[in-house]
């Protein structure tokens, strides 16, 4: 089943490193892998430290080296209406997943999951926060997000993205 559209929101803490990477990478990979599926793709943070800012310069530079232009994205915070507007909200780590579960309105429609459930071969459950680390962290984020994007495309194609 590939006809139905799916609305996917990627969530991290600041919305300047991991989740904008996921938004840009998944959008590009899905355009190639699932051209027939109408996808809505967005990202947000659970914290508001960087609202209105473009992604971190190190995030943009690492992504651009792989052909992903993230420069047009701007950070925002997860809002209550996101739980209604999206089908699937994918957290980068358990802490942000817990924050989402706490904030989800009772009538929330969206499924909440960890992004790396779609990259079981990675052996990781969480995308490590690269913000305070070295340049390798940004490459690891890209590796994990690319793998999960392929897995997510396959799951959407099979209609198996919901648990």
- List the catalytic residues: 12, 18, 129
Q: Which of 42, 82, 87, 129 binds ligand 4NP (CB under 6 A)?
A: 129
The answer to whether 43 and 71 have CB atoms below 8 angstroms apart is no
Shortest approach of ligand 4NP to residue 67 CB, angstroms? 20
Diameter of the chain measured on Cα atoms? 42
Residue with tokens 């459950």: 125
Minimal CB distance residue for ligand 4NP: 14
Residue 17 within binding range of ligand 4NP, rule CB under 6 A: yes
DSSP-assigned letters across all residues of 33-45: H-TTS-EEEEEEE
Of 13-21, 35-43, 106-114, 118-126, the segment contacting ligand 4NP by CB under 6 A is 13-21
Residues 28-87 that bind ligand 4NP (CB under 6 A): 49
Q: What is the DSSP letter of 131?
A: T
The answer to whether 37 and 49 have CB atoms below 8 angstroms apart is no
**Chain residues in the site for ligand 4NP (CB under 6 A):** 12-18, 49, 129, 131
């Amino acid at each position: 089943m590939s006809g139905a559209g799916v609305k996917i929101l990627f969530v991290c803490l600041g919305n300047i490193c991991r989740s904008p990477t996921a938004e840009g990478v998944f959008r590009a990979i899905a355009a190639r892998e699932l051209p027939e599926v109408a996808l809505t793709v967005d990202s947000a943070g659970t914290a508001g430290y960087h609202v209105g800012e473009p992604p971190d310069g190190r995030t943009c530079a690492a992504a651009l080296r792989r052909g992903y232009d993230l420069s047009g994205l701007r950070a925002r915070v997860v809002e209550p209406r996101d739980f209604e507007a999206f089908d699937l909200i994918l957290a980068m780590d358990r802490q942000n997943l817990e924050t989402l579960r706490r904030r989800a309105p009772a009538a929330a429609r969206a499924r909440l999951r960890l992004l790396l459930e779609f990259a079981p071969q990675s052996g990781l459950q969480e995308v490590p926060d690269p913000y305070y680390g070295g340049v390798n962290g940004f490459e690891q984020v890209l590796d994990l997000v690319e793998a999960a994007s392929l897995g997510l495309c396959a799951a959407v194609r099979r209609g198996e993205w919901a648990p």
